[in-house]
Structure 1
C-alpha cells in the first residue's frame, strides 16, 4: 500500500488543484488529462502527491488543501429553534412561541458578535 487511503473529497480537491495549475499554464492539455485520469484511479495520498511533485510549492498539494467549509454550529441552533417554534405554534396555535424563538435567536446572535 502507498500510504493512507484517499476519499472522494481528496480526489475532488486534487482535480481542482490540477485545474488551477492547468489554468496558470503549468500543465499542457495532455499532462492535465493524464494527471486527471491518474487522480480518478489513485487510492492513496502518496499516489496523489506524485502527481504534484514537479509543480510549484507555493500551491498546496492535495493533502494540504483545506477541507470544504462546514456548517456553523450557530446556523444549526437557529434552524433547530425555528423548527421547534413552528412545531410549537402548530401544536398550540399561540403566536407567542414564535416571538420567544425570535428572542432566543437574537440573543444568540448578539452573544456571537461579542
Structure 2
C-alpha cells in the first residue's frame, strides 16, 4: 500500500507526535515556547505532510503511521500532571510570577500522594 503525504492521520498518531515533541523538549532541542506552539499545531494536524512539517528541523525520524504504534500507555493522572506542569511553567514564564511554580510543586506533591493512595487501594482490592 502506498502512503501519500496528504493521507489523514489518526488520533494515535497525534498523541505519538506529542510524546515525540515532549522528548525533544526534555532533550533541550525545543524551548518551552516552541514546544507550546508545536504541541498546539500537532493537536490540530490532519495529514501526514502537516505532521512531517512539525519535525522537519529536528533530528531523528519523523513519526509516521507505521511508527505510531502505541507504546506503553500513559496513565491519565500522569498525563494530566505533565500537561498541568507544562501549562503552569509556561504561565509562570509569561507572567513572571514565580508563585505559579510553587503551586505546581504543591499540585505534583498532592497528585503523587493521591495516586499512591489509589494504587495502594487497588492492589489491596479495596
TM-score by length of 2: 0.49
Aligned residues: 67
Runs (4+) of structure 1 moved beyond 6 Å?
A: none
- 2:26 corresponds to 1:26: no
* Gap regions ≥5 residues in structure 2: 72-126
> Structure 1: how far apart are the matches of 2:70 and 2:33?
29
> Structure 2: how far apart are the matches of 1:45 and 1:3?
6
Asked whether the equivalents of residues 21 and 27 of structure 1 are also in contact (C-alpha less than 8 Å), the reply is yes
CA RMSD of aligned residues (A): 1.9
TM-score by length of 1: 0.54
Larger radius of gyration: 1
Matches for 1:4-43 after TM superposition, within 5 Å: 4-43=7-46
CA offset digits 1:61-102 (Å, max 9, x no partner): 120635126xxxxxxxxxxxxxxxxxxxxxxxxxxxxxxxxx
Asked whether the equivalents of residues 26 and 55 of structure 1 are also in contact (C-alpha less than 8 Å), the reply is yes
* Gap regions ≥5 residues in structure 1: 70-114
- 2:58 corresponds to 1:55: yes
- Give the secondary structure class of the aligned counterpart of 1:6: coil
